[in-house]
Amino acid sequence: MAPRLYQAAFVAALALGMASCVATAPEEVIAPAELDMGATGVAFEGAPPELRVDLTRNVEGLLSRFVETGKRAFIDDAAYETELFLTQSGYARAQVDYQILGENTALIEIKPGSRSTIGRVLVESNEGCPIPDDSLRLYVNGPRTGLFGSGAMLYVENRIEGAPDQIVEDLVALGYLDAEASLEDPGPRAAGGPVDVIVKVSAGERYFVSDARVRLSRTAEAIGPELERELDKELRKVTVDKDGKPREYEPRMEGKIRTVLADVLGQGGYPDASLSVEPKIDRGAKRVDLDVVAFPGPYVRLAEVRFEGSERTRDSFIASRLLFDSGDPYNSRKVRDTVRGLYRTGLFSLVSPRLEGAGDARSLVVEITEQPSREVFFEPGFGSWELARLTIGARDRNLFGNGIGASAEAAVAQRALRANASLTDPWLFRRDLIGDLRAEFNRREEPSFTRESRGVGAFITKEWTRAASSTIGYKLSRSEAKNVQAVDADVLEAQSVVNVASFILTQRYDIRDALFAPTKGVYAEASLEAAGQSIGSELEFIRPKLTAAWFEPVGADDVIGIGLRTGVIVPIFGEDTIPIQERFFAGGENSVRSFRESQLGPKDESGQPLGGEGFATASVEWRHELGGAFQSAVFVDAGLVELKATDLFRFESVRMGVGAGIRYLLPIGPIRIDAAMNPDRRSGEAEWVVSFGIGMPF
């Protein structure tokens, strides 16, 4: 009996010991060495292979802060963001947890579940719904898988669940105040696969504004009948169309009313004005009445106007651009127009007006930050005819602090020399006019002679809009033809030196999206120059010219451009011959590119170009982005030069060029190489012409 008791006790003790061992065995922990901790010290387990990199990148900031501080809050946020990222990537049932493995290491455990996609999105909407069915589908559409989004559409649960509310919100914003939207959505399938979603939308009827009135608050003082009429007039513009019919109601109309009427009061001397707009909705009649209450605040006059921050610019110049003065009533429109005018001078990077003080007499402080106004520049260049070129110059846009611009520059090339200087007053006669005084010298070797001219001119420009301007000017110049090689009788009989005095009228229009390499827009410049003895000229003529260009994108990487240049010089009052230095020439890197410089058009017996009284060139160019700063182009050029202006529009002498080129885009303009073929080559003409230059041909 005793041995059996002993054996039983021994077995019981052994069992208890084993149980104790099992109970106290430490929990198995994955050693950090067995995981790919990456650079963050945090490993991901169970992440879908296609999202592994994106998951890490999405929370790398939180992971870095966890490693730096060891705070659990950062890894907790990282787990939440990871789960959110997965649900937005089509894993609607994803679960994410984490373990802290050490002081600065952790394991993020992912159970992604199956990935769900959207099969079809079906739309059921009433006939009057203003949002098209294709647009309604976009509310539930998720991102797509595959290269460049070519695969299946992902099921993003929170996007789909929020679609009805977003649809209703957008319909209400359009004035459909009774709009309803719902989804028939079976939810993501447990085994994944496509899910069909049905969008049901009932827009209801659109509401209209039936009545809108503005009244002063009970505590406001009278603002005068004229200002009250202006408030009524502007309110009517917002709520009634040009035919006198009520406009459709939109909730955003309330904000527009507040802005417009506050500005009316601001122009009338009430800078503190505010308004409340209360809509009264009649759902039975589908109409909205708007009760507008104005709180004008005090009527304010400007006790003083002062400037802060100007260093070089004189206060007298700034004051000359103001549309108001001390003692005037405050006028928000005049303040805005003054700010625009100061910005347009190009002298200031910041113009910020503010009122100081309280009550009905306040100070208007104009805070100013000046732009750098002085610069010295060096610009290298190259052209196929002029060859190497260097331009140097200096500008001061704020001479003596009076806003006067002064510039001087010179360009030296192997076959040309140019120099010019100018003074510009952007506020001529204290009006919105730009005045220019210019002096210039030009010397250029042409194939058949050397052209030299010097002159002075005075010009006035009116900028009608940012895109359109007009310039009128008077110019005195002395032009000379030297080293004339042409032996044509008309050339030999014409004066080699002439003094020309002329009036010039120029119209410009420019809506290009870029100056050097435009991809969209239009540029046009038309000028008319008239010279006669009555204004001091030895040569009498009329010279109209036109330059135009049109650009339009074709897809993401292509642009088509069309350029046109034309002009005539017509002798008048018995003048017989136009000197060679005043004639038009064509051919070269910016003209018909299958001809070398000035080689298109009439020639004498020795083959020297004579130029003509009329010319026209046109180009069509297809430009393609190659990647980086490189661009290719194919083009067709056409043009002609006629000895007599009356022969120009017969188009009997049109010559062509076809070719291709490469451009490398730089901030100062593209470097360009073009090769053009002459499809109708004649004796003495090159079959191919390669040109090199800086800048686009048009």
pLDDT digits (tens, 9 = 90+) for 676-687: 999 999 988 999
The verdict on 102 and 86 lying in the same domain is yes
Res. 273: pLDDT tops 50: yes
- Asked if 454 and 577 sit in the same domain, the reply is yes
Give the pLDDT score at 39. Answer: 57
The answer on 212 and 198 residing in a single domain is: no
- 3-state DSSP call for residue 219? coil
- The CATH number linked to 681 is 2.40.160.50
Percent of the chain with pLDDT over 70: 92
Residue 505 lies inside a defined structural domain of this protein: yes
Predicted local distance difference test score (pLDDT) of residue 188: 67
DSSP 383: E
Residue where a domain stops, chosen among 295, 328, 359: 295
- Is the pLDDT reported for residue 574 higher than 60? yes
Q: Do 188 and 220 belong together in one domain?
A: no
Do 183 and 90 belong together in one domain? no
DSSP state letter for 588: S
Please state, as a whole number, how many other Cβ atoms lie within 10 Å of the Cβ of residue 435: 18
pLDDT above 90: percentage of residues in the chain: 68
- What span, in angstroms and rounded, lies between the C-alpha atoms of 654 and 640? 5
What is the model's pLDDT at position 26? 38
DSSP per-residue codes, 518-570 = -SSEEEEEEEEEEE-GGGT-SS-EEEEEEEEEEEEEETTTEEEEEEEEEEE-E
153-154 sheet: strands from edge to edge: 153-154, 116-125, 193-202, 180-184
Q: How far is CA 643 from each of CA 183, 374, 456, rounded to the nearest angstrom?
A: 77, 46, 29
**Domain annotation covers residue 379:** no
Residue 233 included in any domain: yes
Counting the structural domains of the chain, the total is 5
Banded pLDDT at 375 (limits 50, 70, 90):
very high
Record the pTM. 0.67
Window from 135-149, 224-238, 358-372 with minimum mean pLDDT: 135-149
Residue 490, pLDDT score: 64
Instruction: Look at residues 254, 271, 295 and tell me which one is the last residue of a structural domain.
Output: 295
CATH of the domain at 77: 3.10.20
Burial of residue 651 (number of CB atoms within 10 Å: 0-12, 13-18, 19+): exposed
Please name the amino acid found at residue 683: S
Residues 460 and 329 in one domain: no
Q: Is residue 437 included in any domain, yes or no?
A: no
Q: For residue 566, how many C-alpha atoms fall within 13 Å in the half-sphere facing its CB? A: 16
In a domain, 400, yes or no: no
Residue 572 and residue 520 share a domain: yes
Q: Is the pLDDT of residue 121 over 70?
A: yes
67 and 144 part of one domain: no
- pLDDT, tens only, 150-175: 788 888 888 888 999 999 999 999 99
The mean pLDDT value for 435-460 works out to 96
pLDDT digits (tens, 9 = 90+) for 1-56: 444 434 444 334 434 343 333 333 334 444 444 555 555 678 889 999 888 888 88
Mean per-residue pLDDT for 653-682?
93
The domain in which residue 139 lies consists of: 116-202
Task: Give the pLDDT confidence of 423-436 residue by residue, as tens digits.
Answer: 999 888 878 899 99
What is the amino acid identity at position 470? S
Are 551 and 451 in a shared domain? Answer: yes
Does 243 lie in the same domain as 216? Answer: yes
Report pLDDT digits (tens) over 464-476.
998 999 999 999 9
Range with the poorest average pLDDT among 48-57, 512-521, 553-562: 48-57
Mean pLDDT of 223-233: 94
Contact 326, 304 (CB under 8 A): yes
CA 566 distance to own-chain centroid = 31
Give the 3-state secondary structure of 43-109.
EEECCCHHHHHHHHHHCHHHHHHHHHHCCHHHHHHHHHHHHHHHHCCCCCCCEEEEEECCCCCEEEE
**Overall average pLDDT of the 300-315 stretch:** 94
> Hey, which residues does 44 pair with through a beta bridge?
108
Give CA torsion, residues 160, 84, 46, 193, to 10 deg. Answer: 0
472/541 same-domain check = yes
Residue 226 lies in a domain: yes
Quick one: pLDDT at residue 21?
Answer: 37
Distance of alpha carbon 83 from alpha carbon 74, whole angstroms: 14
What integer is the mean pLDDT of 185-190? 64
- Examine residue 56 and state whether it is found in any structural domain, yes or no: yes
Same domain? 328 vs 246: no
Planar angle of CA 38, 41, 42, nearest 5 degrees: 85
Count of residues in the chain: 698
- pLDDT for position 495: 67
Which of 261, 295, 329 terminates a domain? The answer is: 295
For the segment 107-121, the average pLDDT, to the nearest whole number, is 89
CATH number where 155 lies? 3.10.20.310
Q: What are phi and psi of 172, to 5 degrees?
A: -60, -40
**Which tokens hold the place of 190?**
């447990």
pLDDT at 351 over 50: yes
What pLDDT was estimated at residue 9? 43
Distances (CA, A) of 286 to 206, 243, 673: 7, 21, 67
pLDDT of residue 93: 87
Provide the pLDDT for residue 146: 75
pLDDT at 310 over 70: yes
Tell whether 10 is covered by a domain.
no
